[in-house]
Amino acid sequence: MGTSTKPRFSGVIAPLVTPFGDDGAPDPERFVTHADWLLNNGCNALAPFGTTSEANSLGLDERMELLEELVDSDVDPGKLLPGTGMCSVADAIALTQHAVDLECGGCLMLPPFYYKAPSEEGLFRYFAEVIESVADDRLKVYLYHIPPIAQVGFSLSLIGRLKQEFPDTVVGLKDSSGDWANTKSILDAYPDLEIFPGSEAFLLDGLRAGAAGTISASANVNATALRDVYDNWKNPAADDYQAKITAVRKVFQSQPMIPLMKAIIAHYRHDPAWARPRPPLVELDQSVAAAAIATLEREHGFRMDFRES
């Protein structure tokens, strides 16, 4: 049981954006380059195949191939928390098994999100089937609660039941409800879970209440500033650092977040291909992206430096 109490993930984690080449296929070279850059520029770990990664717009094979590319590079698989939750329990088992075989540190699992208002029993059975099918002590599951998008989420009761049944496997949760009261209630109920608010707006409050860090879209472009909060959260400067990242986040949220993250990377990498999302997402108008970047630079001193990569 000792293993379940050792935190595996902490700090600033980027839900890695996925670049697409001219042919619309995922581009492993840009993908690995960005992953490597993030780990050298503020990120403690990476969560490929999250919402920001357009994971559900990727094919099953594409996800597996991209993960293999990451692991084949010099990225430590222990620092990878890939998304493996799918509508289909069969596909979820395949992705989860694959991630465990590659020695990934954990799996961030969406609930099955097609049928709305499923019963707690049905959701429990889905996770039980994945965990019992993979049947591997190395599997560490992080529940991914994002009701604004998945609609289907995790009640306190479901979290508790999964944790009780699989104490060495269900070890964490990302809360992208955008509702601090919800995050707080989970932190209070299950202090031994590794909890990650899905927005850095709650990073300092989260850390003070026992959260492990944050898994946030913004970490793709603003990880070092997020790290200022994480590394200094017990210091007097923490509130100022938090105020800075909260203000920058407001600019990020002024546009569709995922296309904006990609447009920012495209801008600072001088690589327009980076701006391309996959349907149903669409790229930002160039003028809109340029205006947002100008605001970030002028009002927040924002920039990304890719020279060394």
Enumerate binding residues for a second copy (CB under 8 A): 24, 51, 56-62, 87-91, 94, 111-116, 118-119, 121-123, 125-126, 129, 148-152, 278-282
Query: What is the separation of C-alpha 294 from the centre of its chain, rounded to a whole number of angstroms?
Result: 26
Alpha helices (runs of H) in the chain, residue ranges in sequence order? 28-40, 60-72, 89-101, 120-134, 147-150, 156-165, 180-189, 203-208, 219-231, 238-252, 257-269, 286-300
Minimum distance from CB of 192 to a second copy (Å)? 26
Question: Closest CB to a second copy among 78 and 148?
Answer: 148
Q: First CA to last CA across the chain, in angstroms?
A: 41
- For residue 184, give Cα distances in angstroms to 180, 209, 218: 6, 7, 21
Place of tokens 């927040």: 300
Question: Closest CB to a second copy among 115 and 243?
Answer: 115
Reduced to 3 states (helix: H, G, I; strand: E, B; else coil), residue 197 is: strand
Q: Which amino acid is at 179?
A: D
What's the chain's Rg over C-alpha atoms? 18
Minimum distance from CB of 94 to a second copy (Å)? 7
Question: Closest CB to a second copy among 114 and 156?
Answer: 114
Question: Closest CB to a second copy among 19 and 206?
Answer: 19
Q: What is the DSSP letter of 35?
A: H
Question: Closest CB to a second copy among 156 and 282?
Answer: 282
The two three-digit tokens of residue 98, written as one number: 């694959």
Minimum distance from CB of 5 to a second copy (Å)? 29
- Measured in residues, the chain has a length of 309
Contact 174, 145 (CB under 8 A): yes
Minimum distance from CB of 120 to a second copy (Å)? 10
Minimum distance from CB of 18 to a second copy (Å)? 12
Query: What is the separation of C-alpha 246 from the centre of its chain, rounded to a whole number of angstroms?
Result: 18
**Helix H or strand E encompassing 43:** none
Question: Closest CB to a second copy among 51 and 242?
Answer: 51
Contact 168, 138 (CB under 8 A): no
**Helix H or strand E encompassing 117:** none
Minimum distance from CB of 57 to a second copy (Å)? 5
Minimum distance from CB of 277 to a second copy (Å)? 8
Question: Closest CB to a second copy among 126 and 196?
Answer: 126
**Helix H or strand E encompassing 88:** none
Question: Closest CB to a second copy among 126 and 230?
Answer: 126
Minimum distance from CB of 281 to a second copy (Å)? 6
